[in-house]
Amino acid sequence: MKIVVGLGNPGDRYAQTRHNIGWMVLDHLADIAGWSGKGRTRDASAVAMGRFRGLDLTIVKPLTFMNDSGLAVRKVLTREHAPLNDLLVVTDDFALPFGKLRFREAGSAGGHNGLRSIIGELRTEKFSRLRVGIGDPRRGAVDHVLSTFAADERQRLDELLDAAAEAVETWARDGTSRAANRWNTYTLRPADEDRLAPPGSVDGPPGADGVRRTRTGWRRVRTPEPEA
């Protein structure tokens, strides 16, 4: 039995935020598997399980809020008597550009409170994780991870969720190393400019003055520094 944990926060206010991309991946996988609405709540998590394309799979969304994710992970591993090499944690990462996927077999929390909680509860960093890029924060990190996706990102979000769900299947079938070889070079296609909102509209591109309108006000877009 392979166990996939998606990190996120419960509640409508967080449902479409960047920090909940782990939940979004699992919800998308549940849709593909035909498991939507068939899960149950136990051990501080929403859990669904079954046979998926020849794989025995359990998907877990901790309901403890992000900072206490480790409590739910420890409980599900104990219940299933599962070794750590059968665990994959799907999480957001603002150190990666939007749409990038990155498998790792172990590692530090990297400032992520959900991973920090899991490492603390399991007393080890040696578990696999799939990090999903949510883009570099142009303001404070907390504001960024709790914000919703921009128009150009929402345009491609389903495509990203498709890729991430397929990446999870690759991990469950072939292991972390092979999944990394296949998916760590994945690049999401660019946005279709003609489908974006016009300048001056909410979440549209910046105008000629470099100012962009968002749901919370007008913001000047930071010009990236040239690479060395």
Are 179 and 201 members of one domain?
no
Residues 113 and 201 in one domain: no
* Confidence tier at 201 by pLDDT (50, 70, 90): low
Residue 92, both tokens: 């957001």
The reply to whether 98 falls in a domain is: yes
Q: What residue ranges in 8-86 does DSSP mark as E strands?
A: 40-42, 45-52, 55-62
What is residue 141's predicted lDDT score, i.e. its pLDDT? 83
Report if residue 10 sits inside a domain. yes
The answer on 173 and 219 residing in a single domain is no
Question: Are 145 and 55 part of one and the same domain?
Answer: yes
Res 223 pLDDT > 60: no
Range of the domain at 217: 197-228
Taking the C-alpha atoms of residue 93 and residue 22, their distance in angstroms, rounded to an integer, is 10
pLDDT digits (tens, 9 = 90+) for 178-200: 999 999 999 999 988 755 566 66
Of residues 19, 28, 112, 144, which has the active-site annotation?
A: 19
Residue at 192 is within a domain: no
| 173 and 225, same domain (yes or no) | no
Q: The tokens of 12 are what?
A: 């409508």
Tell me: pLDDT of 228 over 60: no
Terminal-residue alpha carbon distance, the chain? 46
CA 98 to chain CA centroid, Å, is 11
Each residue's pLDDT tens digit, 109-135: 999 999 999 999 999 999 999 999 999
Asked whether residue 119 is domain-assigned, the answer is yes
Is the pLDDT assigned to residue 217 strictly greater than 70?
no
* Domain identity same for 159 and 223: no
Query: pLDDT of 151-171, one tens digit each?
Result: 999 999 999 999 999 999 999
Q: Is it the case that residue 86 has pLDDT exceeding 50?
A: yes
Domain membership flag for residue 191: no
Average pLDDT over residues 197-224: 61
- Residue 220 and residue 127 in one domain: no
The verdict on 123 and 53 lying in the same domain is: yes
CA 130 to CA 7: how far, in whole Å?
A: 11
Residues 124 and 157 in one domain: yes
Q: Which of 92, 63, 105, 82 is nearest to 157 (CA)?
A: 92
Q: What percent of the chain has pLDDT over 70?
A: 84
Asked if 19 is an active-site residue, the reply is yes
Q: What is the pLDDT of residue 137?
A: 80
190 falls within a domain: no
- Output the pLDDT for position 224: 38
Would you put residue 60 in left (φ > 0), alpha (ψ -120 to 50) or beta?
beta
Shared-domain flag, residues 159 and 110: yes
Q: Quick check: is 189 in a domain?
A: no
Closest CA to 171 of 72, 85, 46: 85
How many structural domains compose the chain? 2
Report if pTM > 0.95: no
pLDDT the model gives residue 98: 96
- CATH number, residue 44: 3.40.50.1470
Q: What is the pLDDT of residue 126?
A: 97
176-182 long-range contacts (CB < 8 A, ≥24 apart) are: 176/88, 176/103, 176/104, 176/105, 176/128, 177/105, 179/103, 179/130, 180/102, 180/103, 180/104, 180/105
On whether both 66 and 113 belong to a single domain, the answer is: yes
pLDDT at 15 over 60: yes
The reply to whether 94 and 204 lie within a common domain is no
Whether 188 maps to a domain, the answer reads no
Q: Count the alpha carbons within 13 Å of 2 in the hemisphere toward its beta carbon.
A: 20
